Amino acid sequence: MNQPNTEKAFSKQWIVQFRVSGILFALDVKDTTEILHMAELLTPPGIPSFLNGFINIEGKAIPVVDFATLMGFPRQSVHRYTPLVIIGKEDAPCALIVEEVLNVERLDNKRLNALDDDSVFNQCVSMSGKNQNEEIFYLLKPERILLAQEKTRMAEFQALAQKRLNKLHKKDNIHAL
């Protein structure tokens, strides 16, 4: 009886690919929650330069991060159809502003090359690879996209934005009665 080759089954992963400042990046699909278009932003005064504001997703204030700024590229212009890639789990989601989302594809792990963490894109890239179109992309480590200080600042502003959303929600419920 033939047994399935489990090594082959685990040698592939699904990635979502997107461009930022003309460079192709990717995330493991398991690290993404959803992809959507820009929505109206809550923008508390004094937010850090890497943060565009917060979007309201089902009553939760989700930080919107300008990924280009984090990478040292010029700030990306934002419009109604600007794609957002939501990463992180329920406890700490965040939206990355990207130029365009290209596709989701299944990638053979043999097409990936490990990179020196200290030398590439602010240490948040773990590997490079070639997609099915033979384009080079950089695979991100989501937990490394923001520095600890940036995460702390973002969480402080997120708490303020959430408080504002909660107040608005209470007012809407009172008026609905």
Q: Give me the residues paired with residue 128 across strands.
A: 113, 138
What is the rounded distance in angstroms from the CA atom of residue 110 to the CA atom of residue 104? 18
Residue 56 burial (CB count, 10 A) = 18
pLDDT of residue 116: 76
Task: Chunk the chain into consecutive blocks of 10 residues (it has 177) and report each block's average pLDDT, rounded to whole numbers.
Answer: 48 93 95 93 91 93 94 90 90 92 92 78 85 93 90 92 86 52
Q: Return the pLDDT at 173.
A: 58
Element holding 14 (H helix, E strand): strand 12-20
Q: Locate tokens 């699904």: which residue?
A: 14
User: What is the pTM for the complete model shown?
Assistant: 0.85
Contact between residue 66 and residue 51 where contact means Cβ atoms under 8 Å apart: yes
Which residues in 20-45 are b (16+ Cβ under 10 Å) and which e?
beeebbbbbeebbbebeebbebbebe
